[in-house]
Amino acid sequence: MTLEITLKAEIEARLRIQATKAGKDPAAYAQEAIEEKLAVSSDTAADERSLPTRQRVDEFLKWVGSHGPVGHAVDDSRETIYEGRGE
């Protein structure tokens, strides 16, 4: 399939820089990025299991990194979680 995409100048510049760093032409780099995005965004567990372990770990660490510290003490003890529920 041939696909024509109009990119903003900033995105095109970033694509060219990243492709050069990876030693690839921009079209090949864009195709690889699209394939990775489609593989990661799949909703099925089977597709997730088909990802290489390193990629799954990288995706998990990226997700963890997107959650910063809360900046205050958190009481996550069992007693406070189930307080008032008849235990």
30-81 pLDDT, tens per residue? 999 998 888 766 555 555 567 788 998 999 999 998 988 888 888 888 888 8
Per-domain boundaries in the chain? 9-65
Let me know: does 26 contact 14? Beta carbons within 8 Å: no
pTM > 0.95: yes or no: no
Residue 51 structure tokens: 């990802």
Long-range contacts of the stretch 1-9 (C-beta < 8 A, 24+): 5/30
